[in-house]
A and B are shown apart, each in its own frame.
Chain A
Amino acid sequence: MRCLLPGVAVGELFRLTAPLSFWGGVDPTTGAIVDRNHPQNGVSITGVILVMPHGRGSSSSATVLAEMIRIGTAPLGLILQEPDQILVTAGFVANSLYLSEFVVSCGQVPPGDDGVFRLDDAGLSLESAGARSDSDGGY
């Protein structure tokens, strides 16, 4: 896995099944996907390590993601299947302005999503295994 933006995220994995535009596709005030065309419409992406194919659509996504990091509705970090400079830009700006530790990596994530993971400059590692609670939504 290649680190695109250094930082640290510890949390659960959530996989997007389709590309997502943060602008117009996510409500930044709640962190919920609002793109009616997205198969995971309605699901929250706040506080997870988000695994996504790549970004999509509007170039305004950088500000929306930076704003979500600022107010705490963003994912903790991203694992992209293809490098996406718009999303890296959002993380860089938030980390510069707000001293956040948003992390962006690029690579494939093997199956096995249960547990709490750590994503940092070195890649993705399992922090603690465990069955999912019923409350974590999204699944």
Chain B
Amino acid sequence: MAFLNGELGEGAALAMGLLVTIAETESATGFIDIEGAHIDGCLFHGQAGIDFARALVEGNATVQVPTTLNVSSLDLLHPDLYRGSASDAIAARELMDLHVELGCAPTWTCAPYQLPGRPELGTQIAWGESNAIVFANSVLGARTNRYGDFADLSCAVTGRAPASGLHLDSGRKAEVLVEVAVPESAFAHEIFFPLLGHWLGANTGTRVAAISGLPSDTTEDNLKALGAAAASSGSTAMFHAVGVTPEASTFEECVASTDIPSIRVAMNDLKRARDALGNGSGVPGAVSVGTPHMSAAELQHLALLVVDGRSRIPFYVNTGRGVLASVPDNVLAALEAFGATVVTDTCTYITPIMGHVDGPVLTNSGKWAYYAPANLGLDVVFAGLEECVKSAMSGEIHLEDPFQV
């Protein structure tokens, strides 16, 4: 009650009031203590975000647990990239500053799981940002529900979260089995993973799925791409990959009962997903990669692909400032020599950076391909990283994946 009656400040009371409403919505059994938070509300979507953060600041709230910040609308390291209005930039900066004032760390990345000190198996957290949520639950085995803006910050300033859903053992069990039935050669092409993710989100909705048949050497970056695409096309907050993710060493481990419905996903399903994500044609106008923010391993892979090449079209690489600072200088030098534009703190699909583009944009991100057409009004060609690089160098679309219709 100390929260709600204002003893801990009006800001904490507002936050706890929201958490009580959420707890009732989810029929939560009470509240749990959390060990960390990740806040999505620092991206400017209008005055409401500023008004809420200011109400917390003026109500003397501060974050009670280590708290990272998601992407914003501005690239503070490369401010010249922003092409939006001055008034939006001022509002976006105000929102960012308010979050820092509340005690959040200015990490400005949608991939907080790529930062040091990430949560471990079983850690209770409250994260916003759909791709981060699905990664934390599925790949790290940390426990978060799908918190929206305001809710994640309310958890951070109270140090609490409603005890429901994915915070509990019972909410983490798979409700549907997805049997991957594709030739082994399909796994060799990276876009298999975002395509499967796109299919998963569209076909399993909010249910936790157990995916069987993925190779045991599936990487974190593969799972990142899978989860981000699934959380875009659906409300996916967690999946298990049997034999790959930490709570599913076997199928039996990740289900409450082995008698659950199953769906088979075959090459034709993935071809349809590829078609839906973007089969544009013509002369490419630009490339955008790194949604979610590129990891150090992905940046190093890209640096190898672009060696001795030169992009003929604008080539955007989104990553976090923390990851960028961690990679060797020669990686950045290779990207610069290629003509790539490195974007940090934000992302090309949520803020005006690309400007007018003549022709379709290539991307290897299921999430970017899902949202960019509406956000930016352009056509997308979905392609692997290597095809993106080859297309940029030749000025023509090169597709070599096995998922074409």
Interface, chain A (partner B; CB < 8 A):
4-5, 19, 23-25, 28, 34-37, 54-64, 66-67, 69-71, 82-86, 88-90, 92-94, 96-97
B46-A24 in contact (CB<8A): no
Tell me which residues from 3 to 25 in chain B have a Cβ below 8 Å from any Cβ of chain A.
14, 17-18, 21-22, 24-25
Give Cα distance in the complex from A64 to B150, angstroms.
11
Q: How far is the CB of A40 from chain B (nearest CB, A)?
A: 14
Interface, chain B (partner A; CB < 8 A):
14, 17-18, 21-22, 24-26, 40-41, 43, 45-49, 51-52, 55, 128-130, 133, 145-152, 205-206, 231-235, 276, 370-371, 373-375
7 A-B pairs besides A70-B48, A97-B48 with CB distance below 8 A are A24-B374, A66-B48, A67-B48, A83-B25, A85-B147, A88-B25, A90-B148
- A95's nearest neighbour on chain B, judged by CB, is B21
Known: A36-B374, A85-B22. A94 touches B48 (CB 8 A): yes
B18-A89 in contact (CB<8A): yes
A59-B147 in contact (CB<8A): yes
List chain B residues, Cβ under 8 A from A97: 48, 51-52, 55
Interface of B is mostly: helix
Partner of A93, one of B40, B52, B130: B52
Known: A57-B233, A58-B130, A59-B130. A85 touches B48 (CB 8 A): no
List chain A residues, Cβ under 8 A from B152: 59
List chain A residues, Cβ under 8 A from B43: 60, 63
B133-A59 in contact (CB<8A): yes
Give Cα distance in the complex from A36 to B370, angstroms.
9
Q: How far is the CB of B47 from chain A (nearest CB, A)?
A: 6
A4-B25 in contact (CB<8A): yes
B17-A89 in contact (CB<8A): no
- A6's nearest neighbour on chain B, judged by CB, is B21
Give Cα distance in the complex from A93 to B14, angstroms.
9
Interface of A is mostly: helix
B128-A59 in contact (CB<8A): yes
B235-A54 in contact (CB<8A): yes
Give Cα distance in the complex from A57 to B374, angstroms.
14
List chain B residues, Cβ under 8 A from A57: 130, 231-235, 370
List chain B residues, Cβ under 8 A from A4: 21, 24-25
Q: How far is the CB of B232 from chain A (nearest CB, A)?
A: 5
A92-B234 in contact (CB<8A): no
A54-B149 in contact (CB<8A): no
Give Cα distance in the complex from A36 to B234, angstroms.
15
Q: Can you give 30 A-B contacts (C-beta < 8 A)? A: A19-B234, A28-B46, A35-B374, A36-B373, A56-B234, A59-B128, A60-B148, A60-B149, A61-B148, A61-B149, A62-B148, A63-B41, A63-B43, A66-B49, A67-B45, A70-B48, A70-B51, A83-B26, A85-B26, A85-B151, A86-B146, A86-B147, A88-B21, A89-B148, A92-B21, A93-B48, A94-B48, A96-B55, A97-B51, A97-B52
Partner of A70, one of B41, B46, B231, B371: B46
Partner of A88, one of B22, B41, B46, B128: B22
List chain A residues, Cβ under 8 A from B51: 70, 97
